[in-house]
Amino acid sequence: MITLYHCRDARSFRALWALEELELAYELHVLPFPPRARHEGMKELNPLGTIPVLFDEGHRLTESSAIPHYLATKYGPTPLAVAPDEPGYADYLNFLVMGEATLTFPQTIHLRYAVFPPPEARRPEIARDYAEWFGSRLRNAETMMDGEYAAAGRFTMADVSLGYAIKLALSIGLAEFVTPAMQAYFDRLAARPAYASAMAAQLREAR
């Protein structure tokens, strides 16, 4: 049985959404945030102390953009992954990684200076700088998209990765950086039944 350790609305949502898209059976543990401080045994689950942590047949994955691709390629064939011999393969891989490495990264630095510390330790100037950096990166990403989805002219795991970055922006006060076109793109993704199932699953299991 696939087991996923997740915190509500955190990056591990990518893994949860992917599991739902693939209609795989899984066991979900929703941990309090931050898990490193609030979940005993977290370091044994993942030495990095972060979520997601996904276990599958003795393998452990801890990267939220790798997990959707891993699941799609392992449990496919499915149109949710793009194969190397398809024309959209390069865009697929690029957007899959971009969602986390390029877009979520500045958002989390923003959170680190704007939200997580106690008010007296916050650094609004730095936080704003990272928010704007995220915004310019998202606008640039938009110019690289060709059509309704990130790659291959269809919904894929690259959209799970990219879509989560927009979901996060909308939930942490960075909506001003989401252009109308990217908002419309996100609305398309969020209308998928698997997205709703993932949202419901994390609430069902939350403690």
Ligand X SMILES: N[C@@H](CCC(=O)N[C@@H](CS)C(=O)NCC(=O)O)C(=O)O
Using CB atoms, what's the residue nearest to ligand X?
A: 50
- Considering only 33-41, 119-127, 149-157, 174-182, which stretch makes contact with ligand X by CB under 6 A? 33-41
Q: How many chain residues interact with ligand X (CB under 6 A)? A: 13
What's the CA gap between 132 and 43, in Å, rounded? 33
Q: Which two tokens stand for residue 22?
A: 């693939």
What's the CA gap between 154 and 91, in Å, rounded? 12
To ligand X, the closest distance from the beta carbon of 129 in angstroms equals: 20
What's the CA gap between 38 and 87, in Å, rounded? 45
Q: Fill in the amino acid letter for 91.
A: D
What's the CA gap between 151 and 91, in Å, rounded? 5
- Residue 51: other Cβ atoms inside 10 A: 28
- Considering only 20, 56, 63, 91, the residue that binds ligand X (CB under 6 A) is 63
Q: What is the DSSP letter of 173?
A: T
- Considering only 45-53, 74-82, 133-141, 192-200, which stretch makes contact with ligand X by CB under 6 A? 45-53
- Considering only 32-40, 79-87, 124-132, 147-155, which stretch makes contact with ligand X by CB under 6 A? 32-40
Residue 100 interacts with ligand X (CB under 6 A)? yes
Q: Which residue lies nearer to ligand X by CB, 121 or 191?
A: 121
Contact assessment for residue 50 and residue 10, using Cβ atoms and an 8 Å cutoff: no
To ligand X, the closest distance from the beta carbon of 70 in angstroms equals: 12
- Residue 83: other Cβ atoms inside 10 A: 13
Residue 49 interacts with ligand X (CB under 6 A)? yes
Q: Which residue lies nearer to ligand X by CB, 50 or 156?
A: 50
Interface residues toward ligand X, by CB under 6 A: 10-11, 34-36, 49-52, 63-65, 100
